[in-house]
Amino acid sequence: MAGDYYEVLGVPRSASAEELQRAFRTLARRYHPDVNSDPSAEERFKEINEAYHVLSDPQTRARYDRYGPDFRQVPEGAPAGAGASPGGGRSTGRGRGSTVRTEGVDIDLEDLLRGFGGFRGFDDWGGATASMPGADQQAEIELTVEEAYRGGKHRIALAGPSGERSYQVTIPPGAINGQRIRLAGEGGRGSGEGAPGDLYLVVRVAPHPRFRLDGRDIYTDVKVAPWEAALGATVPVATPGGEAKVRVPEGSSSGRQLRLAGEGMPNPRGTPGDLYAVVRIVVPKRLSRRERELYDELSRVSTFDPRAES
């Protein structure tokens, strides 16, 4: 819901006509539905246009300053203090033109001639074309790695022109970063008989403490003891779909990637990604007496030099 017209344009009440125009142009560019595909931009764009439409005309501006949001209920030329009829609220576009006096009003004539200042919001695109389709919109939907892996139903709430809209969407299993989910006809509203645009939900997979994604491939660390790395072992590894077992071959150093084919992100239309368990050798923080003896012996016996050029 629009607040104060001055707040909408981000200018003080004392703003000059030039300041108003500068604020309007800057904001109108930023929130233009073809530049800004955020679903909330459409409403903002309308508010900006409506605010400027009222404030750019010195007479309607004076009436707005005096009567506030209900100024349209006050007959033109009414003396100050004439009662505004309550309950009407703001009109939303239709019939607004009738309250604007164009006679002898100092508006930006150049703009008017070029159709810019005459823009009146999405319900009335200024008359050049009666019907115009709405713009496509885009919003992000954030999923955890597990949610993206499994897919399933999600509820998403978006700010829209008529309050908050809520959608239940079905995410296919194996959704990846940047994947789009199309909600036909849920984008920007058209004007006249123009069809609405589509709403695209763009998947963003949230950072995960354990899983890193590269396309459909998943990387995760698998912690192993020094002797497991040296001798080889079969160890459990967490995957988004549950626990799996991975065989660490003997002689695996830190950083070695063990591939679990097909255990990455599912792919409804092809081969799934792979899961890479990245070996990370972890040593005990404190050694027992016996462990220390064994490590001491190992260090005496071994000829292995990890820093030797290989």
Q: Which residues bind another protein (CB under 8 A)?
A: 28, 32-35, 111, 114-116, 119, 125-126, 128-136, 176-178, 193-194, 197, 202, 204, 207, 212-215, 219
CB of 140 to another protein, least distance (A): 9
3-class state of residue 228 by DSSP: helix
* Residues in a beta bridge with 280: 223
- Give the three-state DSSP class for 60: helix
**Least distance to another protein, CB of residue 293, Å:** 42
Smallest separation (angstroms) from another protein to the CB of 73: 29
Measured CA to CA in angstroms, residue 154 lies from 62, 185, 213, 275 at distances of 48, 19, 21, 25
Kindly give the residue spans of alpha helices, DSSP state H, lying in the chain.
5-9, 17-30, 39-55, 58-67, 109-114, 145-150, 226-231, 289-301
What is the closest distance, in whole angstroms, from the C-beta atom of residue 33 to another protein in the complex?
6
The residue among 22 and 69 lying less far from another protein, judged by its C-beta, is 22
> Least distance in Å: CB of 84 to another protein?
31
Residue 213's CB is within 10 A of a number of other CB atoms, namely 20
Q: Are 238 and 266 in contact (CB under 8 A)?
A: no
Which residue lies nearer to another protein by CB, 37 or 99?
37
- Cβ–Cβ < 8 Å for 48, 8: yes
Residue 33 or 266 having the CB closest to another protein: 33
Nearer to another protein, 88 or 178 (CB): 178
Residue labelled with tokens 């990637």: 257
Q: Compare residues 36 and 252 and give the one whose CB is closer to another protein.
A: 36
For another protein, the closer of residues 63 and 174 by Cβ is 174
Q: Give how far Cα 16 sits from Cα of 30, 148, 232, 285, Å.
A: 21, 52, 77, 70
H/E stretch holding 183 reads strand 180-183
Nearer to another protein, 130 or 298 (CB): 130
- Spatial CB neighbours of 208, under 8 Å, sequence gap ≥ 6: 144, 145
In the complex, least distance from residue 201 CB atom to another protein, rounded to whole angstroms: 12
Please state the closest distance from residue 30 (CB atom) to another protein, in A: 13
Provide the 3-class DSSP secondary structure of residue 143.
strand
